[in-house]
Amino acid sequence: MAAARGLDALYQEIVLDHAKRRVGFTSLADHPEQPAASERSATSHQRNPVCGDEITLRAVVADGPEGPVLRDVAWEGAGCSISQSSASMLSELVRGVPLEQTDRLVAGFREAMRSRGALALDEEEYGDAAALSGVSKFTARVKCAMLAWVALEDAVRRA
Amino acid sequence: MSAPTTPAPAGAAYDAAAVRAEFPLLSGGAQLPDGAPLVYLDSAATSQRPRAVLDAERSFLETTNSAVHRGAHSLAAEATELFEGARETVAAFVGAGPEQLVWTSGATAGLNLVAYSLGNAAAGRAVPGHEDAVRQWAPGPGDEIVVTEAEHHANLVPWQELAARTGARLRAVPVHDDGVLDLDAAAAIIGERTRVVAFSHVSNVLGVVNPVERLVAMTREATGGRALTVLDACQSAPHLALDLPALGVDVAVFSGHKVLGPNGIGCLYGRTEVLEALPPFLLGGSMVTTVTLEATEFLPPPQRFEAGTQPVSQAVALAAAIDFLRGVEERFGAGAVAEHERRLEQRLRHGLREVPGVRLLGDSDRSERVALQAFDVEGVHAHDVGQLLDARGVAVRVGHHCAQPLHRRFGVTASVRASAALYTTEDDVDVFLDALSGVRAYFGVGR
């Protein structure tokens, strides 16, 4: 439809699909995490003051032989298709990934989002989340895409 | 603006397109990426400015700019004359005298001025000779401050803080599902312990016009005239003929940038006895008579509330905006603008009702309204709706519109708001409705 002009970069099919599937979405209260002795867990609540959108993300970090690993990510919250899709893609991407790598992923994602369209995310590295590259051209929506990633960064720091 | 009931003279049909042509941004100034014409439906956030307003500010700065109320040079005298002349023009616009109009940096500043003034009164500060008057409004432990759940944060948070500082209790009058204020609840809430009743003339989300005179009468009766009534007139000043003294409120605020004027200027109106009794809030130069190292005597209002350098060019330009509004009324006849906006309101609200999946916030036929409508699109977040409309050149507001408690009451965190002004055309509304009707299909909802 005509309304799609200029929006294809933002609302790709895969983005809208993730907004519906919502990987990692769960009721955190109904599904409490009981970390094992070698694990620690923390949640982070983030809010977009502009629209009131919010997310609560829980990260479970496990100590492995080669350093800490992000064993699980779960989240709940309400928001626009970009924020929901981004949380879903993030969950799919970082489960079971060493923390050292998740730090790099978050930093790279932030850099791309702030690039005003100059940097594209590598599909091999970011999987479905690479489809969010187009968000950086819509500066008013960067916060929406960042919400879950900021929550992950914060939760890991507290875990 | 004149009373909306007076009919326009024959042959003077309102021409919104001609009015719009006076606004540079709306007639080609704003360049959209696809060259699409701009459909600006966000006037409740900020209105656009006609060329006459831009010219007035520039002309003042190029010919007369200097500090007012000080200095003996002729430029300063001329600037002071324009500054005080602007006060007369803007005061007359709301039916008031110049001594009843205080310049502020905006409506938010005006509401904070009143809240902090009452806080100072609660701490024992008073203007000599007015101790009794101000003491009856100053809240203390066990007293109550009343707002409504439909308030903009600017007319809520300052009162929350005043309550916290003074030990008073903040209470909120609820609204009905159709956005109309629950007057029965108001009558039950406003009582002996009420010190302040603060409410909006028109909610910036619901568009419903509140019955100001009834609320004022109710407050007077329940408190024996001891509570201060505070009106947020931000959303009524651009659309309704305002006579603040006739409405009977003690104080009222509105902002310049919503009535075709500049940013950085707003007005606080106060009944003469009220302004005379309120202790000052911001302190400093230009609001004093005698200053010693120990104590200070303050000027009478309005200067008592105008500490520091004033936004002079903005005041002059705001007066030009009022003159522009008057000019439009004169050109098309008394009531023509109001009639045009009433048609827009109907077209907007009735059109929205026809779009599948759209739920209106405050859809009331039983009260007067302005052309402003917030709504929720089932299954699509407000941000996504706004993004699709933007791609069609339609600018609307998305989010909570600085009214989180009201959105929570309607079960949403965010909504979309379309709002019109005198330069809005019926075509604008139609383009918006057409663009909106495609939104749910785009996101694969409701098929």
Three-state secondary-structure class, residue B288: strand
A25 at B interface, C-beta within 8 A: no
Position B11 confidence tier, pLDDT thresholds 50, 70, 90? very low
* pLDDT digit string, tens, across residues A31-73: 988 888 889 999 999 998 877 789 999 999 999 888 999 999 9
Does A3 contact B391 at a Cβ distance shorter than 8 Å? Answer: yes
Please give the Cα distance from B155 to B146 (Å, whole number): 11
Mutation site for B-interface testing, chosen from A11, A21, A85, A142 by largest number of B Cβ within 10 Å: A11
How far is the CA of B205 from the CAs of A74, A79, B345, B368, B371, in angstroms? 35, 20, 14, 14, 11
- B28-54 mean pLDDT: 92
Does A51 contact B34 at a Cβ distance shorter than 8 Å? Answer: no
A80 at B interface, C-beta within 8 A: yes
Q: pTM surpassing 0.90?
A: yes
* Closest residue of chain B to A47, computed from CA coordinates: B413
Q: What secondary structure letter does DSSP report for B255?
A: E
Does B391 contact A4 at a Cβ distance shorter than 8 Å? Answer: yes
* Sheet-wide strand order for B169-173: B101-104, B266-270, B251-255, B228-232, B194-200, B144-148, B169-173
Give the strand pairing for B101-104 and B266-270. antiparallel
* Closest residue of chain A to B432, computed from CA coordinates: A3
Is the pLDDT at B251 greater than 90, yes or no?
yes
Question: Which residues in chain A are closer than 8 Å to B378, comparing Cβ atoms?
Answer: none
The active-site residue, picked from B402, B405, B412, B426, is: B402
Please give the Cα distance from B282 to B266 (Å, whole number): 15
Mutation site for A-interface testing, chosen from B383, B392, B398, B445 by largest number of A Cβ within 10 Å: B383
A76 min Cα distance to partner chain B (Å): 15
Residue B447's pLDDT is what? 59
* pLDDT digit string, tens, across residues B165-224: 999 999 999 999 999 999 999 999 999 999 999 999 999 999 999 999 999 999 999 999
Residue A100's pLDDT is what? 94
First to last CA, chain A: 46
Is the pLDDT at B243 greater than 80, yes or no?
yes
Does A1 contact B34 at a Cβ distance shorter than 8 Å? Answer: no
Is the pLDDT at A2 greater than 70, yes or no?
no
* pLDDT digit string, tens, across residues B13-28: 899 999 999 999 999 8
Residue B34's pLDDT is what? 73
Q: Does the domain spanning B16-49+333-442 belong to CATH 3.90.1150.10?
A: yes
Cβ-in-10-Å burial (0-12, 13-18, 19+) of B46 comes to middle
A51 at B interface, C-beta within 8 A: yes
Percent of chain A residues past pLDDT 70, beyond the cut:
97
Closest C-alpha to B102, from B271, B298, B270 = B270
- B325-338 mean pLDDT: 95
B354 min Cα distance to partner chain A (Å): 19
Least confident of A51-60, B145-154, B241-250, B253-262: A51-60
* pLDDT digit string, tens, across residues B389-418: 999 999 999 999 999 999 999 999 999 999
A5 at B interface, C-beta within 8 A: yes
* pLDDT digit string, tens, across residues A95-119: 999 999 999 999 999 999 999 999 9
∠ CA B283-B289-B290, rounded to 5°: 95
* Closest residue of chain B to A16, computed from CA coordinates: B443
Position B304 confidence tier, pLDDT thresholds 50, 70, 90? very high
* pLDDT digit string, tens, across residues B39-48: 999 999 999 9
Residue B9's pLDDT is what? 52
* Closest residue of chain A to B398, computed from CA coordinates: A51
Three-state secondary-structure class, residue B14: coil
Domain ranges of chain B: 16-49+333-442, 58-321
Residue A4's pLDDT is what? 43
Residue B5's pLDDT is what? 46
Contact A16, A4 (CB under 8 A): no
Least confident of A92-101, B7-16, B61-70, B349-358: B7-16
Residue B37's pLDDT is what? 84
B193 at A interface, C-beta within 8 A: no
CB pairs under 8 A between A and B: 67
* B402: annotated active-site residue: yes
All domains in chain A, ordered by first residue = 11-158 (3.90.1010.10)
Position B8 confidence tier, pLDDT thresholds 50, 70, 90? very low
Please give the Cα distance from A56 to A75 (Å, whole number): 5
Does B442 contact A4 at a Cβ distance shorter than 8 Å? Answer: yes
* pLDDT digit string, tens, across residues A20-32: 999 999 999 999 8
Position B296 confidence tier, pLDDT thresholds 50, 70, 90? very high
Q: Which ipTM value was assigned to this complex?
A: 0.87
Is the pLDDT at B268 greater than 80, yes or no?
yes
* pLDDT digit string, tens, across residues B181-190: 999 999 999 9
Choices 3.40.50.2030, 3.40.640.10, 3.10.20.30, 3.40.50.10070: CATH for B58-321:
3.40.640.10
For chain B, state the CA radius of gyration.
Answer: 22
Please give the Cα distance from A16 to A35 (Å, whole number): 33
Q: Which H or E element spans position B395? A: strand B394-395
